[in-house]
A and B are shown apart, each in its own frame.
Chain A
Amino acid sequence: MHRLVWWQHFRKLGPWLTRGVRAWSLSLLLLHFALTVIYVAPINPVKIALQPIVYGTIGQYFAQNWSFFAPNPISSNISLLVRPLDPVEAKLDSHDLPAGEWYDLTSPFWSRFQGNRFSAYERLSRPQANAMRMYMGGSPELGPWIDACHKGDQDACRFYEREMQKFREHALEVLVRIASGFVTESFPNHANFTHVALRVRSQIVVPWSQRFHGKPAISDMDLGIYAIVDGVASSGIYQHVN
Chain B
Amino acid sequence: MRSWTASHPRVYISMLTSALAPSISNLSLRKAWEWLAWEPQHRLGTRFLQIAVGLMLLFRVATEGRFYGYLWGPSGVGTGGMTRLFGSTVGGVLDKSFATSTGTLGVLAVLALSAILLISGRVTRLATLGAFLTFFMLEQRLPELPDGGDNITRIVLIYMLFLLPPRANPKQGGLLVWFHNLAVLAIIWQIVILYTTSGIMKAYGDKWHHGVAMYYVSQVEWFSLPALRHMFMNPFVVTLSTYIPMFYQLFFAIALLSPLKLPWLLVGMIFHVGVATFMGLVSFSTVMIGLEGFLISDDEYAYLLALSRGLRQWANRKWRFRRMPAVPSAEQPEVLGAEP
Contact = CB atoms under 8 A, between A and B. Distances in A.
B63 A119 contact: yes
Nearest to A125: B222
Interface in A55-71: 60-71
A40 B190 CA distance: 11
Contacts of A62: 155, 158
A65 B77 contact: no
Given A61-B85, A70-B205, A126 B147 contact: yes
B182 A66 contact: no
Contacts of A231: 75
Interface string B211-253: 0111111011111111000000100001000000000000000
Contacts of A68: 148, 198, 201-202
A127 interface: yes
Interface size class of A (residues with CB under 8 A): 35 or more
B222 A127 contact: no
A126 to B, nearest CB: 5
Contacts, number: 178
Interface size class of B (residues with CB under 8 A): 35 or more
A189 to B, nearest CB: 21
Nearest to B284: A68
A127 B77 contact: yes
Nearest to A234: B70
A242 interface: no
A212 B233 contact: yes
B200 interface: yes
B64 interface: yes
A65 B70 contact: no
B76 interface: yes
Interface string B58-93: 011001101101110101111100000100000000
Interface of B: 36-37, 59-60, 63-64, 66-67, 69-71, 73, 75-79, 85, 142, 144-148, 151-152, 155, 158, 175, 178-179, 182, 185-186, 189-190, 193-195, 197-198, 200-202, 204-208, 212-217, 219-226, 233, 238, 276-277, 280-282
18 contacts: A21-B175, A22-B175, A33-B189, A42-B201, A65-B151, A67-B197, A70-B202, A70-B208, A77-B221, A111-B221, A114-B221, A126-B147, A127-B142, A177-B79, A208-B215, A211-B215, A232-B75, A233-B73
Given A126-B146, A233-B70, 13 more contacts: A60-B85, A64-B151, A66-B197, A66-B198, A70-B201, A70-B208, A71-B208, A73-B213, A114-B225, A114-B280, A122-B222, A124-B67, A232-B77
